[in-house]
Amino acid sequence: MTKVLLINKFNYAKGGADGYFLALADLLKTNRWETVKFCMAGEHNLPDEREDFFVSQIDFHRPTLHDLLRLPGRMIYSFEAAHKLKKLIRQEQPDIVHVHNIYHQLSPSVLVAAKKFNLPVVMTVHDWKLICPNYNMFDRFGSAEEVCDNLWHCLTRRSVNGSWRRSLLATAEFYMHHRVFKFYERLVDLYLAPSQFVKDKLVAHGYPADKIKVLPLFVSTKAEPEFRPGDYALFVGRLVPEKGLDVLIEAMGLADRNVKLKIAGLGPEYKHLAQLIKDKKLSERVELVGPKFGHELVELTRQAGLLIVPSVWPEVFGLVSLEAQAVGKPVLAAEIGGLPETLKNNQSGWLFKAGDAKDLAEKLNRLYFDKQKLETAGRAGRALMVTNFSAEKHYRELNQVYRLLINAKLKSLPAIHA
């Protein structure tokens, strides 16, 4: 049985990247791959038989004094991660390494460790950290793409959470990783971009096109779809500025008074959004329902009329768009980043100008009450998921990538030494 080592900082579904990491592990097991995980330890983690190898926990958001002393070293180069990963590789003898999000908690020291054993390394690009010290090319001033081109802008704009300290650490981290040691550029054999938009951005910032393969994420299509439109629009995601919730609430103020919206999620913008809804006298039409997971989230989506994705940052992909279409719900999404690649415009969903509340309100008014159009688009979306974004299709393409890299390494490099 062929063995893959999956590396991600969290072993629980904290965000979309982590959810994909866990789903991929299950998908590979189903297809008879042996999987080994390497992550950071933590109380929220799923049980794992090899968790003794995991890197010690460190909290970047509420650090203790001990954590503060360890932060710079952990971000730039974690000797602990490198040491523990080498021990795990010696024990497990994997054939290939698949890296996901390793920034901060693990560091690119894991890439160095993998290459000590001549292992092929593939990396899924889940955000913009490879080209920008700011994860999402968005900060308190809005678009932060210039931060990617001039590192000093990250400091002057306090581009990471509005914090001088965090922005300084992120700038130093980026400079050491990409300008001095070039860890990712040298040690990753192939990047998997979830969208063509991501590949184009990476190429524009100097990454070779022949080292990047576009491989969209996948969703499960096992849940029974519900094509009959419900009586509310739905937003699902973290409540953070870049998700465009201010724009969505403004649009609700402009939309027909019979349009209703449910917002599912949690985040630092919760109190601000609650106050905004109250100030605009939208409390009877806009409901903050809190975070929803698993079956509860699936049911909330199935009972909606359509999903709205109002992002104002260049989304890498848009997994939430796929998840909605998988259960028969069309999507009204901002035309930004990789989002347009997750639907067929005017077939399984519709696009509006990012950041434009008026355009969103006009499209919402036109679509919300047209039950036949919503049902037709929902059916088209479900068909699109089954054809283009299924787990089976994703596995076939990923398996081909793994096999090609493993065979190339076997032909050119010595075997792993004990």
Per-residue pLDDT tens digits for 29-40: 999 999 999 999
300-342 residue pLDDT tens? 999 999 999 999 999 999 999 999 999 999 999 999 999 999 9
Which phi and psi angles does 68 have, rounded to 5°?
-60, -40
Cα separation, 328 vs 380, whole angstroms: 8
pLDDT value of residue 345: 97
Q: How far is CA 248 from the centre of its chain?
A: 21
pLDDT value of residue 138: 84
Fold observed for domain 233-388: Rossmann fold (3.40.50)
Cα separation, 136 vs 376, whole angstroms: 34
Is 233-388 in the same CATH topology as 3-124+182-218+391-412? yes
pLDDT value of residue 62: 76
Whole-structure pTM value: 0.94
pLDDT value of residue 134: 85
Task: Give domain limits for the chain.
Answer: 3-124+182-218+391-412, 233-388
b/e map 401-412, b = 16+ CB within 10 Å: bbeebbeebeee
List the chain residues with pLDDT less than 70. 67, 144, 146-147, 413-418
Cα separation, 349 vs 306, whole angstroms: 9
b/e map 115-125, b = 16+ CB within 10 Å: bebebbbbbbb
Pick the CATH number of 3-124+182-218+391-412 from 3.40.50.970, 3.40.50.2000, 1.10.357.10, 3.30.540.10: 3.40.50.2000
pLDDT value of residue 8: 98
Q: Which of 119, 328, 345 is nearest to 224 (CA)?
A: 328
Structure tokens at 228: 């009959």
